[in-house]
Amino acid sequence: MTAHTLIERLAAAVGPSGLVTDPRDLEPYLVDWRGVYRGAAPAVARPANTSEVEAVVKICAETCTPLVPQGGNTGMCGASVPDATGRQVVLSLARMGRVLELDALNNTISVEAGCVLANIQQAALEADRLFPLALGAEGSCQIGGNLSTNAGGVNVLRYGNTRDLVLGLEVVLPDGRVWNGMRSLRKDNTGYDLKHLFVGAEGTLGVITAAVLKLFPRPRTTATAWAAVPSPEAALALLALIREQCGERISAFEILSRNCLDLVLRHIPGARDPLSRSHGWYVLADLADTREGATLRAELEQALEAGLEHHLVSDVAIAASQSQAQALWRLRETIPEAARAEPGMLYRHDISVAVSRVPTFIAEARQALEARFPGTDIICFGHLGDGNLHYNAFVPGRNRSDAAAREASDVTEVVYDIVQRFRGSFSAEHGIGRAKLAEMRRYKSEVEIGLMRGVKQALDPQGIMNPGKVL
Amino acid sequence: MTAHTLIERLAAAVGPSGLVTDPRDLEPYLVDWRGVYRGAAPAVARPANTSEVEAVVKICAETCTPLVPQGGNTGMCGASVPDATGRQVVLSLARMGRVLELDALNNTISVEAGCVLANIQQAALEADRLFPLALGAEGSCQIGGNLSTNAGGVNVLRYGNTRDLVLGLEVVLPDGRVWNGMRSLRKDNTGYDLKHLFVGAEGTLGVITAAVLKLFPRPRTTATAWAAVPSPEAALALLALIREQCGERISAFEILSRNCLDLVLRHIPGARDPLSRSHGWYVLADLADTREGATLRAELEQALEAGLEHHLVSDVAIAASQSQAQALWRLRETIPEAARAEPGMLYRHDISVAVSRVPTFIAEARQALEARFPGTDIICFGHLGDGNLHYNAFVPGRNRSDAAAREASDVTEVVYDIVQRFRGSFSAEHGIGRAKLAEMRRYKSEVEIGLMRGVKQALDPQGIMNPGKVL
């Protein structure tokens, strides 16, 4: 089939307003938000409902046309961007953005895949519920992308990853048939759990078109503390102490090194150090309780006082208001922005290890990097409560405008080799996309890759679903 | 290959003490604990470690010998019992019962598949942690079986199903290779999530040999209430009210009809009605808090008083001591035993629907059963908080000693057809095994069965892993 007839068929399936072919209009679909990955496509199909997705996928299946599902295009690994061949059709879910149903008594919300995350959060709030997935891109990312990448974010410690928030899915399979798994059940043991195959598959096994998600009681009281700690070991011991005293009220526990704060103070207008003196490490901890009138601030103070007594804490600032809490969180959340404002080349690593091994990992990785690249500046921050660190490094003499430096994998290999020794993950929350294919080959066992390929082959024998990603 | 050489090879793989062939010793492996499913086997292999499991599976793969993995053999659907052909080798994990490692700071425990559930609970308690999976068979069921059936139990409302409690797995695949997925990470987005394929697959995709499980802060205070409610609708509204006031402190919310209590009072020695008058429905609710000195009892009283005010509660008994709480729970937990002591034929249905639809389901199913089988006595109890009911029925004139009555599916079809209309599950926590193959055919879509068969074919092309189960 010629490209011309393909486009005619796609236009017939989604209507002329559902198909983008003009090069100027195509542009935003062909490049990721950071401008790192760029590709080409003959067209972007923007179906308005599941039947139209079915029709598009059927045309692609019949014509062996590769398809790239795309949500908000806010990913970090390029999974939603087509390759350079110009053969891959982009399937944008952006027009499928409706909340389908909210069942407050069942604590579930059903949404189309193109629903923007913030809209789901808002719909939940309006029903006096919480949808806990929260991350930087929430104003533009779509739930279909969150599901396909099993997004993490700041509430994983308490509520889990996106995978843990889903009860049901609707998926258009690579042959164009629909799997209707839109169940809103807390318990269902009738055969293999298919939804977990599609969550985190980055669109390589099918197109998620809708989902049933879990809601939770809305927290009514919160407390936030910024604590200076002498070391990552102390931070870890403080986490155990707060858990011991406050149990599952703890909803976030972040760690950052002093140079992260320095970056923020240097580049982010209005940022100020919450403490009068400089310290090596900080933690940012949130407690939340669903009960009105809970005494969270007192509980947090008590736990931190115990931390001071045991020399786990050097100094502390507890937010006295919501706006103070927001200011503390802003120091944590603007680290990536501040790092982008630095001139050097930042090698980024989204890694995880067992929570108990984070301090040893930090020490060993630092030692290895400094031995190999003397003068390296390590920008280490992340979700200590999940064992997930953004362990990033500025290497002297490497410039981000230098393509060779950008593509060099010598720095990341030093870090990932240690991650591997710790039985950790070289992609804790960002996924694989096209960014980490080399790591898949280097670090995954043959058995594991073989299993994944077997599943891929079983579901997508033609290999048309987002080829060149993940595997 | 003759049976003789197969047995010689298996004996060489697991040692003579690891192979059972004497018919008298085989007996307990060939029948389930209720005596419902019975089969035959040339031998039971009892490997002592993963390498021996590998060796056994390799021999079976080479000789196309079907294998039935077996844990504590406490399942409800016959998944762990061989068929009648006498060809299927039973692979018992009973000798692989060790706790491998407990990491209190990471809140994880690593165990072999044959580890008895109660031993895991105990190891967690000794480290001041909770492993929340709890169910009737916990003294003899093994975690490998819990994982393979995705067991539910009484703490699902707060902690999820077994699936939600697992971070890593080790699995011997149908070709005898080992997949080492023993990760203890809270976040890992490196390709398809393979562990969720094996959890709930009832041994049809491979043999789970070890697992890394999540631990939680141990609850320090609990409160238990037994409340009479006028209707299932009122029970549901009470659940919402308690959730509103007490948030995630609620850890169990059970419902039972009056005739469940009548059965228990009739058959269970020492059982007594906690309330002075008879009521149509009851709920049993537990709150738990990880914080020492939490005011749970007062909170629960306050919520129930609000319930009384709003006519959601007719009468209430709050446990004043641990032993009173246990006595209340005994009323709930002995319902199955009491039902077995009744002479009639009990048609059992382990179903789930959306929590919000439980009252409507109860009413419609009752109406349909009474229309078709007048005089039916419905024994309805279960985990209202999970939408999971044990919706069982004594049908007049049906006797359990009558094989035709035992095998008749006319009653269950009435119930499951309504479940299907509610988009519910015909097996909420017990799985499929050989018991519910007909329901898989009747209620699952062709697309869904096709996906499952595709996965099965990809992982076990010879079909040697627990054939005749699930699919």
Q: Are B193 and A200 an interchain contact pair (Cβ–Cβ within 8 Å)? A: yes
pLDDT of A304-328, one tens digit each?
999 999 999 999 999 999 999 999 9
Q: Calculate how close chain B gets to A380, using CA atoms only, in Å.
A: 17
β-bridge mates for residue A326, sequence order = none
Q: Are A459 and B454 an interchain contact pair (Cβ–Cβ within 8 Å)? A: yes
* CA–CA dist B432, A135 (Å, integer): 39
Look up tokens 């010629």; give the residue. Answer: A2
Look up tokens 């889903």; give the residue. Answer: A166
Three-class SS state of B229: strand
Query: Where does the pLDDT of residue A401 fall: very low under 50, low under 70, confident under 90, or very high at 90 and above?
Result: confident
Q: Calculate how close chain A gets to B451, using CA atoms only, in Å.
A: 7
CA B34 to chain centre: 15
Q: Are B183 and A423 an interchain contact pair (Cβ–Cβ within 8 Å)? A: yes
pLDDT of A219-269, one tens digit each?
999 999 999 999 999 999 999 999 988 888 999 999 999 999 999 999 999
Average pLDDT over residues B192-220: 97
pLDDT of B287-320, one tens digit each?
999 887 778 999 999 999 999 999 999 999 999 9
Q: Are B192 and A201 an interchain contact pair (Cβ–Cβ within 8 Å)? A: yes
DSSP B468: T
**Are A390 and A316 contacting, i.e. CB atoms less than 8 angstroms apart?**
no
Q: Are B425 and A184 an interchain contact pair (Cβ–Cβ within 8 Å)? A: no
* CA–CA dist A300, A313 (Å, integer): 13
Report the residue from B160, B387, B454 with minimal CB separation from A458. Answer: B454
pLDDT score at A368:
97
Assign residue B431 a region: left if phi > 0, alpha if psi is -120 to 50, beta otherwise?
Answer: left
Q: Are B187 and A217 an interchain contact pair (Cβ–Cβ within 8 Å)? A: no
pLDDT score at B400:
85
Q: Are A448 and B181 an interchain contact pair (Cβ–Cβ within 8 Å)? A: yes
**Are A19 and A45 contacting, i.e. CB atoms less than 8 angstroms apart?**
yes
Q: Calculate how close chain B gets to A446, using CA atoms only, in Å.
A: 9
CA A305 to chain centre: 34
pLDDT of A54-112, one tens digit each?
999 999 999 999 999 999 999 999 999 999 999 999 999 999 999 999 999 999 999 99
* CA–CA dist B380, B364 (Å, integer): 13
Q: Calculate how close chain B gets to A233, using CA atoms only, in Å.
A: 11
* CA–CA dist B83, B57 (Å, integer): 18
Q: Which H/E stretch holds residue A120?
A: helix A117-126
pLDDT of A167-210, one tens digit each?
999 999 999 999 999 999 999 999 999 999 999 999 999 999 99
Please give the share of chain B, as a percent, with pLDDT higher than 70: 99
Report the residue from B106, B173, B425 with minimal CB separation from A188. Answer: B425
Upper half-sphere CA count for residue A270 (Cβ side, 13 Å): 6
**Statement: residue B2 has pLDDT above 80:** no
Look up tokens 């069982």; give the residue. Answer: B392
Q: CB contacts < 8 Å between A and B, how many?
A: 268
**Statement: residue A292 has pLDDT above 80:** no
Strands A281-289 and A315-318: unpaired
* CA–CA dist A50, A64 (Å, integer): 20
The DSSP-derived string for A193-251 is -THHHHTTSTTSS-EEEEEEEE-EEPP-EEEEEEEEESSHHHHHHHHHHHHHHHGGGEE
Assign residue A372 a region: left if phi > 0, alpha if psi is -120 to 50, beta otherwise?
Answer: alpha
Q: Which residue of A has its CA nearest to B178?
A: A447
Report the residue from B186, B290, B425 with minimal CB separation from A352. Answer: B186
**Statement: residue B458 has pLDDT above 70:** yes
Rounded to 10 degrees, what is the CA torsion of B34, B39, B42, B47?
-40
**Are A151 and A133 contacting, i.e. CB atoms less than 8 angstroms apart?**
yes
Which amino acid belongs to residue B140? S
pLDDT score at A163:
97
Residue A124 tokens, joined: 């939940």
**Statement: residue B3 has pLDDT above 80:** no
Q: Residue B361: its chain A contacts at CB < 8 A?
A: none
**Are B69 and B91 contacting, i.e. CB atoms less than 8 angstroms apart?**
yes
Upper half-sphere CA count for residue B121 (Cβ side, 13 Å): 13
Q: Which residue of B has its CA nearest to A245?
A: B291
Helices of type H across B373-432: 403-407, 410-421
**Are B288 and B296 contacting, i.e. CB atoms less than 8 angstroms apart?**
yes
ipTM given for this complex: 0.96
Report pTM: 0.97
* CA–CA dist B343, B356 (Å, integer): 34
pLDDT score at A454:
98
Q: Are A447 and B178 an interchain contact pair (Cβ–Cβ within 8 Å)? A: yes
**Are B88 and B82 contacting, i.e. CB atoms less than 8 angstroms apart?**
yes
**Are A267 and A394 contacting, i.e. CB atoms less than 8 angstroms apart?**
no
* CA–CA dist A436, B391 (Å, integer): 49
Report the residue from A179, A355, A356 with minimal CB separation from B447. Answer: A179
